[in-house]
Amino acid sequence: MASHRSTAGYAEEAPDLFVRYEARDAAAIHAPWAEFLPKPPARILDIGAGTGRDAAWFARTGHSVLAVEPVDALRTGAAKLHPEPGIIWLDDALPDLTATRARGETFDMILMHAVWMHLTEKERAAGMANVASLLKPGGRLFTSQRHGPIPEGRRMFDISGEETIALAAPLGLANLYCERTGSIQAENMARGIEWTKLVFEKAS
Q: How confident is the model at residue 152 (pLDDT cuts 50, 70, 90)?
A: confident
Using one digit for the tens of pLDDT, what is the confidence trace for 58-116? 999 999 999 999 999 899 999 999 999 999 999 999 999 999 999 999 999 999 998 99
- Residue 67, classified by CB atoms within 10 Å of its CB into exposed (0-12), middle (13-18) or buried (19+), is buried
- CATH number of the structural domain spanning residue 29: 3.40.50.150
Task: For residue range 1-15, list pLDDT tens digits in order.
Answer: 334 565 555 666 766
Give the pairing of strands 43-47 and 107-113.
parallel
Q: Is the pTM of this model over 0.75?
A: yes
Overall size of the chain counted in residues:
204
* Domain count along the chain: 1
Domain containing 96 equals 5-202
CA distance 77 to 55: 13
Where does the pLDDT of residue 191 fall: very low under 50, low under 70, confident under 90, or very high at 90 and above?
A: low
- What is the number of other CB atoms lying within 10 angstroms of the CB of residue 83? 11
Q: What is the pLDDT of residue 2?
A: 37
**Backbone φ and ψ of 31, nearest 5°:** -60, -40
Distance CA 161, CA 168 (A): 11
Taking the C-alpha atoms of residue 163 and residue 21, their distance in angstroms, rounded to an integer, is: 27
